[in-house]
Amino acid sequence: MKKSRFTTLHRAVFLAVFLFTATVFAQAQTFLGTAGDQLWSNEDNWLDGLKPTGMFDEATISADVIVDEDVSIGTLNNSNNYTLTVLAGKTLIVNTAIHWGDNDFILEDKAQLVYMEPLQVTIKKNINAYDEDNHLWDLIASPVHEDVIPSTENGFLTDPETGYALYSFDENTVDWINYKENPFAIENGKSYLYANALDTTLLFEGTTIGYSAECDLSYHAGNGAYAGCNFIGNPLPCNAYLNRSYYVLSDESNSLIAVPNSATKSIAPCSGLILNSNGLDDNEVLFSYMPFFQYLSFQGYIEITAAKSNAPASVLDQALLSFNEGDDLAKFSIFEKAPRVYFTHDNKDLAILSIDSVDVQPLKFKAEENGNYTLHFDIDKPDLSYLHLIDNMTGANIDLLATPNYNFSANADDYASRFKLVFDPHYGIEEDGPSTDSGTFAYYANGEIIINDVETCHGASLQMVDMTGRTVWSETINNRDGVHTVSTLSPGIYVLRLNDGSTIRTQKMVIP
């Protein structure tokens, strides 16, 4: 369970703001709703046409009101049983106090409330329907302190019951729990996978916990790669920041997006995420409306997206090479057929790897099924002068600053240490995996490949790979003369690959 904590830093910041603005004269205005449209922004709805504009002004509500613009005030009063609704995408900041009682206080989808004390609210989360061609999932989270019991009234359980799917991830057993089989409550601080065959609006009714809160993390050493995997959620009714890296579900719900440690990226209300605990001592994380205590100078990144060619958009994966400090994030995969692109550091698979000054960086790739794939590189590092991708299987050398894409063939049984990123044109590296040797070991003549040292190579596999990475010919070297016929191959440039089980040797070969 989570706990709210108004931090010492937040107290210091607010005290400084109050002292700085102590001489500012606060105005008191009254909302009458005279114009009849209920809009906060319409000055005709305010007594004497005076709308509160200062961050310490006092507003008294004497009619139902709709907050249709971003507002920052000091005090908010409800003079009777009136309703306040904050429209989607708008933010209401109350710096001093809210006196509202049990009257309706509603936040529409993606609206924000920034207030440090608990308040009884209804917060909405819109869910778009899925269909046969668009299997949309949402990683949802509750922004209210009390547990939410799914029901038809709050939009979770639609009619018919088969029209929705709700899952909770059990970090202890690394299992998904289906709500239809084992009902559970929606807890603040956790995240859940949700989908619906109908458009629906989820209602989270309860008490907010301010704009700063800690969520507990679990760590289970026996769960292997998932030892520190935590499905947690933004526990606040406002956009929140974390001072560490995490995963979110893509808008298309077809991949996990790795989000680096940043003071510029926030998590929307009702949104869930996946975060990695680094051990038993790493047992909580802080969500906060204010990001500046976690500021990092931006040094750039390289984002690598892997996609299977001619396949549904669901076959995606992503990794990120960061030049900022402290951005390491464990690699998780929850999509069965997605390719895996990742880094390895200290025997851990990582989706985000923070690096400083390097000449070469191994990049691992694992295909879950045979096929053609594409790696796309999104490079956000202006001072980068050289970046090449080396395919250890084919020998292909791609200048990523000129061509940020690479198409290739891959099989599920290929070794993972397939690629390397080279930052220095003069650097050579021994592979992290089967070693490669680019020395000449064969030549072509009259439709035949002749192996130079057939006795040493006896029993090895021989493959001819085209420049897209597709294997177009293969044989085992078991004849003593070392001659192999390849007359059926079309003229072009190929890579000849020899694998004796411990060493992989490649060389370019031109067939005229």
Residue 460 above 60 pLDDT? yes
pLDDT at residue number 431: 42
Is 400 within 8 Å of 387 (Cβ atoms)? yes
Query: What's the pLDDT score for residue 157?
Result: 95
Q: Is the dihedral of CA 89, 90, 96, 98 positive or negative?
A: negative
- Give the separation between CA 140 and CA 214, rounded to whole angstroms: 18
Instruction: Compute the average pLDDT of residues 227-243.
Output: 94
Of the pLDDT bands very low, low, confident and very high (cuts 50, 70, 90), residue 9 is: very low
Q: From CA 370, how far away is CA 130, in angstroms rounded?
A: 28
The lowest-confidence range among 136-140, 381-385, 505-509 is 505-509
Q: Which residues contact 182 (CB under 8 A, 6 or more apart)?
A: none
- pLDDT tens for each residue of 48-68: 999 999 999 999 999 999 999
Q: What percent of the chain has pLDDT over 90?
A: 50
Question: Would the pLDDT of 111 be above 60?
Answer: yes
Quickly count: other Cβ atoms within 10 Å of residue 238's Cβ.
Answer: 25
In this predicted structure, what is the pLDDT of residue 469? 72
Q: Which residue has the higher pLDDT, 376 or 447?
A: 376
Of 219-233, 244-258, 288-302, minimum mean pLDDT range: 288-302
The answer to whether domain 436-511 has CATH 2.60.40.10 is yes
What does the pLDDT look like over 482-499, one tens digit per residue?
677 887 888 887 888 888
pLDDT at position 23, please?
41
Q: What is the pLDDT of residues 324-373, one digit of tens each?
A: 877 789 888 777 778 899 998 887 889 999 888 788 899 999 998 888 99
Residue with tokens 């057993």: 173
- C-alpha 14/C-alpha 263 separation (Å) is 19
Overall residue count recorded for the chain in this entry: 512
pLDDT score, position 92: 98
User: What pLDDT is attached to residue 202?
Assistant: 98
Question: pLDDT tens for residues 157-198?
Answer: 998 777 899 999 999 999 999 999 999 999 999 999 999 999
Pick the range with the lowest mean pLDDT from 141-150, 183-192, 208-217. Answer: 208-217
Which pair of tokens denotes residue 134?
């668009």
Question: Averaged over 117-146, what is the pLDDT?
Answer: 90
* Beta carbons within 8 Å of 347's beta carbon, 6+ residues apart: none
* pLDDT of 440 above 70: no
The DSSP symbol for 440 reads: -
- Output the average pLDDT for the chain: 85
Q: What is the average pLDDT across 498-508?
A: 77
How is the chain split into domains, by residue range?
A: 3-117, 135-197+209-293, 301-314+331-433, 436-511
| Rounded Cα gap, residues 252 and 134, in angstroms | 8
**What is the mean predicted confidence (pLDDT) over 236-263?**
85
Q: Give the model's confidence band at 449: pLDDT under 50 very low, under 70 low, under 90 confident, else very high.
A: confident
**Predicted confidence band of residue 471 (pLDDT cuts 50, 70, 90):** confident
Tens-place pLDDT, residues 65-85? 999 999 999 999 999 999 999
State the burial class of residue 459 (Cβ atoms within 10 Å of its Cβ: 0-12, 13-18, 19+): exposed
Q: Write down the pLDDT at residue 456.
A: 65
- Asked if pLDDT for residue 292 goes beyond 90, the answer is no
In this prediction, what percent of the chain has a pLDDT beyond 70? Answer: 86
pLDDT at 283: 92
Mean local confidence (pLDDT), 269-298: 83
CA-based diameter of the chain, in Å? 102
